[in-house]
Amino acid sequence: MTASAVKRSSDNFAHHRGGAAKRRNLRTDRDGDLVMEGPKRDRIGKGPSASRGRGGSINTAALQREVLRHVGSDNRTGGPPRGPRPKSTAQSSLSEIKITGWANSKASTSPDRGVSSLITFLEKHASKRGSLFRQNGRSPAQTAKVRSSRVEGDNLYITVPSEEVSVYAKINGFVFAGQKITITGDGIRGKSPQIDNASPEPANDIKQIFQDFLGRRYNADSKLLSLNALASDEELRAVGIFNTTTTQSKFFPALMKICEAQFQTAQEKKDTIESVTLAENNLSNIAPVTTLGQTFPDLKNLDLSGNKFESTSAMIGWRHKFRHLEHLILSNNPLEQSQPGWEVEILQWFPRLRMLNGAQVRTEEQVAQLNQPKKVPLLVRGPNFEDDGNIAQDFILKFFAGFDGDRTALANTYYDATSTFSLNVNTHAIRDPTKHEMFKKQSWDAYIRLSRNLKHLTHPGPRSARKFQGPQEISKVWSQLPTTQHPSLATEFHKWSIDCIPQEGVPDPSGQYPQGVGGFLITIHGEYNETSSAAGAGTMQRSFDRTFILGPGGPTGVRVVSDLWTVRAYGGFAAFKPEEPQQNQVVAGVPQIAIMGGLTPEQEVLLAEVARATGMNLKYSKECLDTSGWNLQNALATFEAHRANLGPEAFA
């Protein structure tokens, strides 16, 4: 990043942009005069508009001011510190501001040297820009008025309400009748004549020193910016940067500011500087250099070795910064001894860190997974059906046949006096997106009176009344519900999803084990067609979810302890289909396939043979063959010779 490199990148940028002039913030005002918008506050120091506005040079006034603000030792800048400008508390207070640079305007031939039209010009543009004056878009609700004015030599002094000064600051640098005007005063930063005329040298000097410094410290080949051992840099010492604590503390932020100004885009910055070393800087914490995190958020490699960090808390400001950091060096810091387990914390801070102090801490795959769009980490799998002696399976087969056929008989077979049943309707369930179910009018008349949806049923009375117990109650309720036809469990199993796990603590009907005995928890999702509707309405296709707790007891030895039935609009069965693993294998396979490129068929056979015989991955197998002249015996000998030195990365 030498000055010439910077210039080049600036030229390139202009070239890419084609007609850069088109994009400049230049425009004409209503009089046809060319107007240049003043630099926006938030772009100072990095604003391409400001720099190109001055002829394409990167030596911008804004940058100078920033440098001065950071490293200057006097009040030359005159501006307030960065941050919200202090607001005038007294609404009525007035401020005087000075306008220069207008004396030779085209309007200067008029009797008042163009002062009245200049004031009109100022008022007009101030009115357009102030939020004070703007309401409902662009029309000025209120106009900026200059309260009084006087001319001294080539200076025009105008008095305006203090709260409007910031508005005038915005039109600083505008072109009035062919002349660029400069506005100065309290609360207006920049373009002050003191800087532009009186003492431009120090700013240029310091900036030049910084740029030379960056040029010396940047290695374009390795994209490395070496900011190590800053205090011992001869040229920085020569200009006394480190003589006072003030300039010392301002040095790094100013340096970052200058770095920042070299780049037009974040991408350009990212591509130019991948690594930074701050080694051997005697830092006890990152406070003096913390701005590195803002300037280079995409850094890949960072060397902090040889500093005085006692613990990870010395770097807490960079926690979760540098989201793309791959390699961090912290060797020769006291924390290595003073904070056992510091590595773990560092790993958590930087999710893509692969190397720490030169040692691998994450694999490529682990990092690659992070770069995948964040997806649900588990795939939908088929049923988890943990049956025991087909108890659950037999029950399910008989249950749905019975429910579609003879519900009373079913209730008497599987339900005893303590069995509980309830139904709940989810009237808001998502419907099958692939069908026209979306638009089908749902009617819940046949179910809703019995629905025990606790989300809606809030009173204890109905909550008790809509839970049914014992075969009589249950079969009575069932008889009030539409008759059903479920899909065949034998031939249409894809329309079902059935999970079953053992369930302990199921009530023991013998009373011998009050804390319960073993049973099953069965969850079933599926669909059915109504074959009749108690309400006499049309029949519909529905989806349902049904949970059973099975336990010992009842006439068959297997009884339903609990039966919870959820009915909802038809939602299809696509969700039950197990998901296929995808992408991951492909991603992992890419580099392997890339290694195969450019090999002859014979070499491919050799490669496969070496990989098979040694267990090494293709990359290392190929390197082994490369060094062994693609001879199988030599390659295997080479492998044996180096085997002890090979790390886990060599093997697949």
Partner 1 sequence: MAQYDQFMLTTVSAEAAENLLDAYYTALQGSRHTIASYYCATEKNPDGKSVPTIVWNGNVMNTGQEVQQTFEVMPYTHYDVQSLDCHVLNPTALAPEKVVGGSGEADKDIERRLSIVAVVNGSVRLEEPKEGPLRGFSETFVLVPNPEKALGKGPKAELKGWLIQNQNFRYTV
* 77 belongs to the binding site for partner 1 (CB under 8 A): no
* 454 belongs to the binding site for partner 1 (CB under 8 A): yes
Question: And the tokens for 382?
Answer: 């088929």
* 506 belongs to the binding site for partner 1 (CB under 8 A): yes
Question: Could you tell me if 214 and 225 are in contact, meaning their C-beta atoms sit under 8 angstroms apart?
Answer: yes
**Cβ closest to partner 1, residue 463 vs residue 642:** 463
* 379 belongs to the binding site for partner 1 (CB under 8 A): yes
Question: And the tokens for 350?
Answer: 């930087």
| Distance, C-alpha 183 to centroid of its chain | 42
Rg, the chain, Cα only: 39
* 615 belongs to the binding site for partner 1 (CB under 8 A): no
* 584 belongs to the binding site for partner 1 (CB under 8 A): no
* 521 belongs to the binding site for partner 1 (CB under 8 A): yes
**Rounded least distance, CB 408 to partner 1, Å:** 22
* 525 belongs to the binding site for partner 1 (CB under 8 A): yes
Contact with partner 1 (CB under 8 A) among 84, 377, 629, 647: 377
**Rounded least distance, CB 433 to partner 1, Å:** 7
Output DSSP code: residue 196.
Answer: I
User: To which H or E segment does residue 269 belong?
Assistant: helix 266-272
644: left (phi over 0), alpha (psi -120 to 50) or beta: alpha
- What sign results for the dihedral spanned by CA atoms 37, 43, 45, 49? negative
Question: Could you tell me if 382 and 431 are in contact, meaning their C-beta atoms sit under 8 angstroms apart?
Answer: no
Strands 26-28 and 94-100: unpaired
* 133 belongs to the binding site for partner 1 (CB under 8 A): no
Output DSSP code: residue 136.
Answer: S
Q: Point out which span in 140-148, 247-255, 352-360, 418-426 binds partner 1 (CB under 8 A).
A: 418-426
Contact with partner 1 (CB under 8 A) among 30, 138, 374, 436: 374
Give the Cα separation of 173 and 183 in Å (integer).
7
User: To which H or E segment does residue 245 belong?
Assistant: helix 245-261
**Rounded least distance, CB 391 to partner 1, Å:** 14
**Cβ closest to partner 1, residue 138 vs residue 375:** 375
**Cβ closest to partner 1, residue 207 vs residue 542:** 542
Contact with partner 1 (CB under 8 A) among 160, 425, 610, 611: 425
Strands 327-329 and 301-303: parallel
Question: Could you tell me if 189 and 168 are in contact, meaning their C-beta atoms sit under 8 angstroms apart?
Answer: no
**Rounded least distance, CB 649 to partner 1, Å:** 24
Give the Cα separation of 359 and 311 in Å (integer).
20
Question: And the tokens for 329?
Answer: 């060096």
* 422 belongs to the binding site for partner 1 (CB under 8 A): yes
Specify the amino acid at residue 145. K
Contact with partner 1 (CB under 8 A) among 289, 549, 611, 625: 549
**Rounded least distance, CB 266 to partner 1, Å:** 23
Contact with partner 1 (CB under 8 A) among 13, 444, 493, 576: 576
* 541 belongs to the binding site for partner 1 (CB under 8 A): no
Residue-wise DSSP of 69-118: HHH-SSSTT-PPPSSSPPPPS-TT-EEEEEEES-TTSGGGGSTTTTHHHH
Contact with partner 1 (CB under 8 A) among 202, 383, 402, 615: 383
* 450 belongs to the binding site for partner 1 (CB under 8 A): no
| Distance, C-alpha 499 to centroid of its chain | 37
Question: And the tokens for 128?
Answer: 């357009």
**Cβ closest to partner 1, residue 514 vs residue 629:** 514
Q: Point out which span in 51-59, 95-103, 143-151, 495-503 binds partner 1 (CB under 8 A).
A: 495-503
Question: And the tokens for 257?
Answer: 């500011």
User: How wide is the angle at C-alpha 111 spanned by C-alphas 109 and 116, nearest 5°?
Assistant: 95
**Cβ closest to partner 1, residue 399 vs residue 620:** 399
Output DSSP code: residue 487.
Answer: P
**Cβ closest to partner 1, residue 375 vs residue 441:** 375
* 312 belongs to the binding site for partner 1 (CB under 8 A): no
**Cβ closest to partner 1, residue 245 vs residue 512:** 512
**Cβ closest to partner 1, residue 330 vs residue 506:** 506
Q: Point out which span in 41-49, 227-235, 355-363, 569-577 binds partner 1 (CB under 8 A).
A: 569-577
| Distance, C-alpha 473 to centroid of its chain | 56
* 514 belongs to the binding site for partner 1 (CB under 8 A): yes
* 467 belongs to the binding site for partner 1 (CB under 8 A): yes
- Which residues lie closer than 8 Å to 233 by C-beta, 6 or more apart? 213
Contact residues for partner 1, defined by CB under 8 A:
374-384, 417-418, 420, 422, 424-433, 452-456, 460, 463-464, 467, 497, 499, 501-507, 514-516, 518, 521, 523, 525, 543, 545, 547, 549, 561-562, 564, 566, 568, 571-572, 574-576, 578
